[in-house]
Amino acid sequence: MGGDVFSAIRELKRGGVVALPTETVYGLAANALDAKAVEKIYHIKERPPSNPLIVHVLGGTWIEKYANLGDNPGRVKKLVENFWPGPLTLVLGKKITIPDIVTAGSGKVAIRCPDHELFRSILQACNFPLAAPSANPFGYVSPTTAEQVRQTLGHKVKVIVDGGQCSIGLESTILDLTQNVPKILRPGAIAADEISKILVEPIATYEPIVSENPTSPGQLKQHYSTRTKLELFPNGIRKYAGKTQGSIAVVFNSKPLDLDEIAENFHSSRENIFWFSENGDQSEIARNLFATLQKLDADHYDVIFCERPLRSGIGIAIDDRLLRAAANSTDPKA
Ligand code: TXA
Ligand code: MG
């Protein structure tokens, strides 16, 4: 364990906030049982107190301390056995052990068991659950490297544990188990059909919601935004038909065959053409999505054009993040 791991444990034990790597994105963690520590997370992120936090645990045996398994405990058992540790967050009835500030007053708690060695060793050493949102200022792109956390929150967070680049790169799938039919509240690396196969029952798939008062505040329309204007184009398009102005970065899913021709087709130049993955691999696109957007955002283009993914598997989650990022990318706080 590196020195920063020990500093993180010390800081967490004394009620501080630290940034930690998970397999999905970096999180901003504090003791989930300490309301004062959790309050600091909201403050650092400038996150509205109405938006609850995910509670991170070491394994299935911790669940019953903090959540009620509900009418169908078999569901929770199957999901834990098949997907934990991993990018699946379960929304269950909350027990009073979890302070209200964590769940934003809701009677439900979101619980996840991260699959990252450093995060897990810290959980083990602390022996209390960690509340952790993604380690970005509210509304901005989630960080997938320690450097990204440093750039946006380094002035507010003393301890940032560097665990390398996140292997998945998109936030966990959130599944609400408090209703008769389990329902996806946020798509992620674990797709609806994988869950439904394990549960051997249908689940309600995710509907993008634009509501003012969504069931999961992560469903707020605009989120994950770049400051630079972001425009999406359909998958497979290789020529831009509209008018363009200013400096343009264009991001494809895979490396275009002819860079000069593509640059011309998009009224851009060869050095402003980018790709999330060499060969269009969906997992690689997910892994590189936020880092690429944040890098291009720092380069001050007038507009970023970005190709939408194929909508299958993790592509549904990628598309969800892109649609929100493009909803109003010039005003990330909205
Ligand atoms: O992969 C992840 O889930 C990452 C890593 C750090 O674990 N965390 C993450 O946290 O994405 P955050 O706070 O950025 O997004 C959590 C989402 C929010 O949209 C929040 O509204 C929703 O989970 N959520 C949290 N608690 C909830 C609850 N009790 N009921 C419904 N939604 C909840
Ligand atoms: Mg977030």
* C-alpha torsion sign, points 218, 222, 225, 231: positive
Q: 199, 219, 253: which is the final residue of a domain?
A: 199
Residue-level pLDDT at 1 = 53
The enclosing domain of 75 has a CATH number of 3.90.870.10
Q: Three-state DSSP class for 40?
A: helix
Q: What is the DSSP string of 273-295?
A: EEES-SB--HHHHHHHHHHHHHH
Residue with CA nearest ligand 1 atom 29 = 109
Distance 295 CA to ligand 1 centre (A): 24
pTM (two decimals): 0.93
Residue-level pLDDT at 245 = 79
Residue 82 lies in a domain: yes
Is 230 touching ligand 1 by the criterion CB < 6 Å? no
Distance 110 CA to ligand 1 centre (A): 7
Residue-level pLDDT at 2 = 57
Are residues 183 and 238 both part of a single domain? no
In the predicted model, residues of the chain with pLDDT beneath 50 are 211-212, 217, 330-334
Are residues 183 and 277 both part of a single domain? no
> What single-letter DSSP state applies at residue 308?
P
Residue-level pLDDT at 210 = 52
Are residues 16 and 82 both part of a single domain? yes
Contact (Cβ atoms closer than 8 angstroms) between residue 23 and residue 86: yes
Residue-level pLDDT at 10 = 98
Tell me the pLDDT tens digit for each residue of 295-310: 999 999 999 999 999 9
Is 148 touching ligand 1 by the criterion CB < 6 Å? no
Residue with CA nearest ligand 1 atom 17 = 218
Residue 217 lies in a domain: no
Atom of ligand 1 nearest to the CA of 47: 13
Distance CA 165, CA 87 (A): 15
Total of domains in the chain: 2
Are residues 30 and 167 both part of a single domain? yes
Largest CA distance in the chain: 61
Tell me the pLDDT tens digit for each residue of 271-289: 999 999 999 999 999 999 9
Are residues 59 and 166 both part of a single domain? yes
Residue-level pLDDT at 212 = 45
Residue-level pLDDT at 253 = 98
Residue 303 lies in a domain: yes
Are residues 28 and 90 both part of a single domain? yes
Atom of ligand 1 nearest to the CA of 87: 1
Distance 224 CA to ligand 1 centre (A): 13
Is 217 touching ligand 1 by the criterion CB < 6 Å? yes
Are residues 27 and 149 both part of a single domain? yes
Are residues 79 and 173 both part of a single domain? yes
Are residues 183 and 249 both part of a single domain? no
Contact (Cβ atoms closer than 8 angstroms) between residue 248 and residue 262: no
The enclosing domain of 298 has a CATH number of 3.40.50.11030
Residue the block writes with tokens 């504090």: 30
Residue-level pLDDT at 332 = 40
Is 106 touching ligand 1 by the criterion CB < 6 Å? yes
Atom of ligand 1 nearest to the CA of 217: 21
Distance 264 CA to ligand 2 centre (A): 36
Q: 179, 199, 219: which is the final residue of a domain?
A: 199
Is 111 touching ligand 1 by the criterion CB < 6 Å? no
Are residues 74 and 174 both part of a single domain? yes
**Partners of 283 in the β-ladder:** none
* Tokens (6 digits) for 72: 């169908």
Are residues 171 and 105 both part of a single domain? yes
Residue 208 lies in a domain: no
Distance 104 CA to ligand 1 centre (A): 11
Q: 178, 199, 220: which is the final residue of a domain?
A: 199
Domain that holds residue 315: 229-325
Residue 204 lies in a domain: no
Residue 158 lies in a domain: yes
Is 219 touching ligand 1 by the criterion CB < 6 Å? no
Which residues are CB-neighbours of 163 under 8 A, at least 6 positions away? 20, 21, 116, 117, 118, 119, 146
Residue-level pLDDT at 67 = 98
Residue 75 lies in a domain: yes
Residue 286: closest CA among 330, 236, 320, 235: 320
* C-alpha torsion sign, points 30, 34, 40, 42: positive
Q: Looking at the CA of 136, which ligand is closest?
A: 2
Contact (Cβ atoms closer than 8 angstroms) between residue 29 and residue 56: yes
Are residues 65 and 184 both part of a single domain? yes
Residue 246 lies in a domain: yes
